[in-house]
């Protein structure tokens, strides 16, 4: 926290010089976050560059008092998340065909460890495989799981980042873990079926 406050003070005194330090400090975390959301190294790199450029422009318009009180990490994640969403929309629009003529209750699972996230992580061979599976989830679940488990954001930080009520964040995290668990079980069943042949 002291390092962040020192960086915020530096951004007030000399934005150009301090922004370089900000970029160096946060670029790896931002890239990892973007990669987990996009699944593409090139897209992640492009999104981080665009987010950092946007951060610089925004900071240059902020008064000193506002720069000094920013919560840098959540603020940068929010900027990056907006860039990733815009990037997805652009890709989706480019992929659309020219011919355009054409939350319920939670499911019961038999696993008694369903509420223990560590249980899911133990089933995976590596963090990369888990990240790849998380990337296949619907965006609403992918975002909260990525933020909570990979980026170590609190429920409150995720709530602020995604502009969602705290209860919705917890609900999406719980439901997302259930979907992830079902995906893992389905993969295990397929592996066992192919292994017997």
What is the C-alpha separation between 18 and 6, in angstroms, rounded?
10
What is the reported pLDDT for 96? 40
On whether residue 68 sits in a domain, the answer given is yes
pTM, whole model, 2 decimals? 0.65
On whether residue 70 sits in a domain, the answer given is yes
When divided into structural domains, the chain yields a total of 2
On whether residue 109 sits in a domain, the answer given is no
On whether residue 45 sits in a domain, the answer given is yes
Instruction: Kindly report the backbone phi and psi dihedral angles of residue 14, in degrees, each rounded to the nearest multiple of 5, phi listed first.
Output: -150, 90
Q: Which domain holds residue 133?
A: 117-196
Encode the chain (197 residues) as per-residue pLDDT tens digits.
Answer: 468 889 999 999 999 999 999 999 999 999 999 998 888 899 999 999 999 999 999 999 999 999 989 999 999 999 999 999 888 777 654 444 433 333 333 333 344 444 555 544 454 445 667 777 888 888 889 889 888 888 888 899 899 888 999 999 999 999 988 888 888 888 778 777 665 55
Q: Do the Cβ atoms of 171 and 103 come closer than 8 Å?
A: yes
* DSSP codes joined into one string, 19-87: HHHHHHHHHHHHHHHHHHHHS-HHHHHHHHHHHHHHHHHHHHHS-HHHHHT--HHHHHHHHHHHHHHHH
What is the reported pLDDT for 107? 33
Domain CATH code at residue 64? 1.10.1740.10
């Amino acid at each position: 926290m002291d390092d962040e406050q020192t960086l915020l003070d530096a951004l007030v005194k000399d934005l150009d010089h301090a922004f370089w330090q900000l970029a160096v400090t946060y670029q790896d975390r931002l890239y990892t976050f973007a990669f987990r959301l996009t699944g593409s190294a090139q897209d992640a790199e492009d999104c981080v560059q665009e987010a950092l450029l946007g951060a610089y422009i925004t900071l240059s318009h902020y008064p000193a008092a506002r720069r000094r009180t920013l919560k840098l990490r959540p603020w940068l994640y929010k900027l990056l998340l907006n860039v990733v969403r815009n990037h997805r929309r652009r890709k989706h629009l480019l992929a659309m065909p020219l011919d355009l003529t054409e939350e319920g209750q939670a499911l019961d699972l038999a696993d008694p460890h369903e509420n223990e996230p560590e249980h899911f992580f133990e089933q995976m061979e590596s963090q990369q495989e888990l990240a790849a599976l998380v990337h296949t989830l619907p965006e609403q679940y992918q975002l909260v799981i990525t933020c909570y488990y990979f980026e170590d954001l609190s429920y409150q930080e995720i709530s602020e980042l995604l502009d969602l009520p705290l209860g919705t964040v917890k609900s999406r995290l719980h439901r997302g873990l259930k979907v992830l668990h079902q995906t893992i079980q389905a993969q295990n069943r397929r592996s066992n079926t192919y292994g017997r042949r």
